[in-house]
Amino acid sequence: MYPTIPIALAIFAVSMIAITTEKVNKTSAAILGGMLMVIFGIESQSSAFSYIDWNVIFLLIGMMIITGITKRTGLFQYIAIRLAKLARGEPIVIIVMLSFATAAISALLDNVTTVLILVPITFLIAVELNVAPTPFVISLALASNVGGTATLIGDPPNIMIGSAAGLGFADFLTTTAPIVAVDLVVLCAFIYALFRKSLVVSNERKARVMAFDDSKAIEDRPLLVKSLVVLGAVTAAFVLHSRLGVEPATVALSGAAVLLIASGAHDVEAILSEIEWTTIMFFIGLFMLVGGLVETGLMTTVSSSLLGATAGHMSATTMLVLWASGLLSGLLDNIPFVATMIPLIQDMGASLGARAIEPLWWALSLGACLGGNGTLIGASANVVSVGISRKNGNPISFWDFTKYGAAYTLISLIISSVYMLLRF
Amino acid sequence: MKLANLLDPRLVLLDQDVSSIDEAIVAGVAAFSAGNLRSLGRDEVLARVRERQALGGTVFPTGIAIPHARLPGFDDIVIAAVRPLVPIVQPDGEGTPVRLVWVVLTAQTASSTYLKVLANLAAMSKDGAAMDALMAVETGYKFVEAVEAGGYVVEKGLHVSDIMTREVVSIREDASLRELTDRMFANKLRYLPVVDAAGLLVGEVGVLDLIAAGIPDYVYRVGSLKFLDEFEPMAELLKNEDKIAVGAIMKPPVRSIAPDSSVLAVAFEMTRSKKRHYPVVEDGRVVGVISSMDILSRVLRA
């Protein structure tokens, strides 16, 4: 018989180092880690597979399909141009409005997808205005992470937390969304204070932005109508899913199937090939990897000693989870972090009762999602936004991003702490 | 495929008593067996050869004649050789007397093999030693052996080197985009191979790569510029064309083609990759460029 705990810990540690440093492709590392847990007999194949949270996997796939079709319509470009014109070409107003739009779109769609669509059009607006694109890029990245925190489907950690804790879309809407609204207002004030003075634009440049013809931004009007109908119906179903007794993944996959059929002429094969299979496989690997650790009983030991350290004091534990996940998410990928924390908190729930530990789930959600703003590498949305900027001759260094990101993260974590203490 | 392997000793008629090309044709056509002619009647074949002969151009100044016919419903190449006892003097008394008459029958759609046969026969007639040997042999077998000794090869299929453009306009990788633009414009070329200081192929550049250099990356990501009426076209490119080197926008050569590659292989490669131009490379050097238009104008409508 193998000494299970040391072997499982070693597999977990090596895999996590590989995932964090990306010496090996992180998806490959996660899958191999999960398989090693099976090969070394830490968990059986069937139990490894049973740790995969299919609600998370299919919710992600469903939303990726809906997003993939909707982005073909030109809707998001239309929104960006419309807002730039509403702002009458005034750059600081454009940044604030686009940050709100980014947060709102991120609340419904994946953060990375949101910045992939909105950063390039914002870049174009900045170039046309002849102002530095950096404030636009940083603001959008921060806003997408904030917006994603608001809903069950806004950010992968929330999807995982919601599924594991049995928290529904409506729960997020009443718990994280209000504080996100506050965070967003603070973010806009933060951006306004920092960037207002550096953004001066000539009248002629403003006139160029006003000359954009937003009506031509819509690529496919019939598809746009169908996408909006499905997106609206899916959002409504999400709000009601707990009351209807339907799982979120069912809502997303049904919406995806309906939109695939409604899009008709569009090639189903092409749309499905755009699903980010690397991300999906990363999640699958991660669930199996963490599953191995759970199987050893190690999680129970750690959770009870954690509870011992805080003497079962719920407020203290909540603050610990919020700040630990907030700070660690700036340095680590928040997805594997949350995947590891979930069984830990579940174990605490086993000893304290599911109702009692609800604040911990919210602390994990707020910490992991908002913490991603802490550094340039804290969230995929940051890396992608800065990458687009660099490819267009406007490099943003690690510290350029991090000095704004870290300051804002600190502010948002303090706001979250106050909120958590007042609310629970 | 060797030329000699297309010949049959039984179709070699030595020292025939013929005094005109037409008599030689009659003798040659008479020699073909029923198997050679397939379902065609001998009279019909003779009529076809005479019909073609009337158009002229089958007598060569090197002292041979190649009367021939393209026959409907015929899918083969058969050759009869008629060596007159006395060289045939042309009716107008001009030119070299004809020492050897090759009667060639082929399919209506003359294959490239057939064209190569004609080219080989003409080449052999210019080879003094080979012609002397053919004049001296005493049997059909020896005649065929003499052809074989000449080493004449009928290749099946065209090679890239047969149809490529040999006057290659290339550009150095350290040249500026201004030079590239000027060279493409002056030569009306939409494709140039890129070479290094030593003249070795390092990449290729098309007019679309040049134009793409004038469109920023974020534009591709936005996906559409329909809403922009006043975007200054190519402003960035025109401003920077002296600063950007060809090496920065070129593509590495996807796959270089050897001069002895078959045209079919290149045609396949072009259609599969939707790429219209390929550099033809020998020992790392560009010896030619082959384009889809070369295939159109030198194969499909040669």
Quote the pLDDT of residue B58: 85
Q: Read off the pLDDT band of B158 (50, 70, 90).
A: confident
| B120/B175 same-domain check | no
- Per 3-state DSSP, what percentage of chain B is helix, strand, and coil (rounded to 5)? 40, 20, 35
Distance CA B166, CA B160 (A): 11
Compute the nearest-CA separation of A300 from chain B (Å).
Answer: 47
Q: How far apart are CA B69 and CA B50, in angstroms?
A: 8
Closest CA of chain B from A295, distance in Å = 45
SS (H, E, C) chain A: CCCHHHHHHHHHHHHHHHHHHCCCCHHHHHHHHHHHHHHCCCCCHHHHHHCCCHHHHHHHHHHHHHHHHHHHHCHHHHHHHHHHHHCCCCHHHHHHHHHHHHHHHHHHCCHHHHHHHHHHHHHHHHHHHCCCCHHHHHHHHHHHHHHHHCCCCCCHHHHHHHHHHCCCHHHHHHHHHHHHHHHHHHHHHHHHHHHHHHCCCCHHHHHHHHCCCHHHHCCCHHHHHHHHHHHHHHHHHHHHHHHHCCCHHHHHHHHHHHHHHHCCCCCHHHHHHCCCHHHHHHHHHHHHHHHHHHHCCHHHHHHHHHHHHCCCCHHHHHHHHHHHHHHHHHHCCHHHHHHHHHHHHHHHHHHHCCCCCHHHHHHHHHHHHHHCCCCCCCCHHHHHHHHHHHHCCCCCCHHHHHHHHHHHHHHHHHHHHHHHHHHC
**Does B226 sit within 8 Å of A216, measured CB to CB?**
yes
Q: How confident is the model at residue B302 (pLDDT cuts 50, 70, 90)?
A: low
Residues of chain A whose C-beta is under 8 A from some C-beta in B?
A: 74, 77, 81, 116, 119-121, 123-124, 127, 208, 211-217, 219, 388, 391-392
Banded pLDDT at B233 (limits 50, 70, 90): low
Q: Does residue B256 share a domain with residue B229?
A: yes
Range in A155-159, B156-160, B211-215, B249-253 the model is least confident about? B156-160
Nearest Cα residue in chain B from A126: B218
Q: Are residues B213 and B117 in the same domain?
A: no
Q: Do B34 and B135 belong to one domain?
A: yes
Q: Are residues B261 and B205 in the same domain?
A: yes
Could you give the CA distance from residue B86 to residue B75 in angstroms, rounded to a whole number? 34
Tokens representing residue B270 in the block:
């072009």
Q: Which residues of B touch A119 (CB under 8 A)?
A: 218, 221
> Last residue of a domain, which of B125, B157, B189?
B157
Considering only CB atoms, A216 lies closest to which of B219, B223, B227, namely B227
Residues B139 and B217 in one domain: no
- Amino acid (1-letter code) at residue A387: G
- Alpha-carbon distance A283 to A26, whole Å? 10
Q: What pLDDT sits at residue B93?
A: 72
Cβ of B93 under 8 Å from any chain A Cβ? no
Measured between beta carbons, the chain B residues lying within 8 angstroms of A81 are 227
Q: Which residue of B has its CA nearest to A72?
A: B223
Same domain, B122 and B230: no
- What was the pLDDT predicted at B12? 92
- Residue B277 inside a domain? The answer is yes
pLDDT at A2: 58
Co-location of B225 and B140 in the same domain: no
CA distance, residue B41 to nearest chain A CA (Å): 59
| Whole-number pLDDT of residue B65 | 92
Residue B237 belongs to some domain of the structure: yes
- Mean pLDDT value across residues B246-262: 87
Of A211, A212, A392, the CB nearest to B218: A392
CATH number assigned to the domain comprising residue B9 = 3.40.930.10
Chain A hits for B224, Cβ within 8 Å: 74, 77, 217, 219
- B216 plus B109 within the same structural domain: no
Whether ipTM > 0.90 holds is no
- CA of B278 to nearest chain A CA: how many angstroms apart? 30
Q: What average pLDDT does chain A have?
A: 91
- Report the number of distinct structural domains present in chain B: 2
CB-based contact B219 A121, cutoff 8 Å: no
CB-based contact A262:A224 (threshold 8 Å): no
Angle between helices B140-149 and B128-136 (to 10 degrees): 170
pLDDT at residue A339, rounded to an integer? 92
pLDDT band at B157 (very low <50, low <70, confident <90, very high): low
Q: Which amino acid is at A373?
A: N
On whether residue B165 sits in a domain, the answer given is no
CB contact under 8 A, B230 and A208: yes
Q: Are A211 and B229 within 8 A, CB to CB?
A: yes
Residue A35 confidence (pLDDT): 97
Taking 90 as the threshold, does the pLDDT of residue B253 lie above it?
no
Interface test with B, best of A98, A123, A388 (most B CBs within 10 A): A123
- pLDDT for the residue numbered A265: 63
Give phi and psi for A206, each to the nearest 5.
Answer: -60, -40
Is B110's pLDDT higher than 70?
no
Residues of A in contact with B226 (CB under 8 A): 213, 216-217
Last residue in a domain, options B108, B124, B157: B157
Taking alpha carbons only, the member of A22, A17, A24, A33 closest to residue A293 is A33
pLDDT band at B301 (very low <50, low <70, confident <90, very high): confident
Is residue A136 within 8 Å of A122, Cβ to Cβ?
yes
Q: Which of A265-279, B182-196, B218-232 has the highest mean pLDDT?
A: B182-196
Q: How many residues does chain B have?
A: 302
CATH of the domain at B182: 3.10.580.10
Distance from CA of A413 to the nearest CA of B (A): 33
- Burial pattern B154-168, b for ≥16 Cβ within 10 A else e, equals beeebbbbbbbbeeb
Choose the final residue of a domain: B94, B122, B157: B157
| Residues A296 and A4: beta-carbon distance below 8 Å | yes
Averaged pLDDT for residues B266-276: 91
The predicted structure's pLDDT at residue B127: 87
Q: CB–CB of A354/A345 below 8 Å? A: no
Domain span holding position B65? 3-157
| Domain presence at residue B153 | yes
* Residue B9 shares a structural domain with residue B143: yes
Distance CA A177, CA A53 (A): 24
Q: Identify the residue among B217, B220, B222, B239 best suited for mutation to test binding to A, counting A beta carbons within 10 A and taking the highest.
A: B222
Distance from CA of A33 to the nearest CA of B (A): 35
**Residue B156 predicted with pLDDT over 80:** no
Q: Please report the residues numbered 178 through 237 in chain B whose beta carbons come closer than 8 angstroms to any beta carbon of chain A.
A: 216-219, 221-224, 226-230
- Any domain includes B232: yes
SS3 category, B54: helix
- CB–CB of A341/A306 below 8 Å? no
Judge: B221–A116 Cβ closer than 8 Å, yes or no: yes
Q: Output the pLDDT for position A363.
A: 95
pLDDT, residue B60, reads 87
Q: Lowest-pLDDT range, A314-323, A344-353, B7-16, B222-231?
A: B222-231
Token readout for B186 is 């002056």
Residues B128 and B230 in one domain: no
Q: Do B219 and A124 touch (CB under 8 A)?
A: yes
Looking at the structure, tell me whether residues B8 and B153 fall in a common domain: yes
Low-confidence ranges of chain A (pLDDT < 50): 1
Mark yes or no for CB contact B217/A391 under 8 Å: yes
Judged by DSSP in three states, B139 sits in coil
Is B26 a domain residue?
yes
CA distance B226 to chain A (A): 6
pLDDT of residue A305: 82
Q: CB–CB of A212/B227 below 8 Å?
A: yes
Kindly state whether residue B162 falls inside one of the protein's structural domains. no
Residue B115 confidence (pLDDT): 81
> Would you state the pLDDT for residue A57?
94
Task: Let me know: does A55 contact A284? Beta carbons within 8 Å.
Answer: no
8 Å CB contact of B216 and A392 = yes
pLDDT of residue A312: 67
- pLDDT reported for residue A354: 81
Please tell me the distance in Å from B219's CA to the nearest CA on chain A: 7
Confirm whether B163 is domain-assigned.
Answer: no
Is the separation of the CB atoms in A198 and A135 below 8 Å? yes
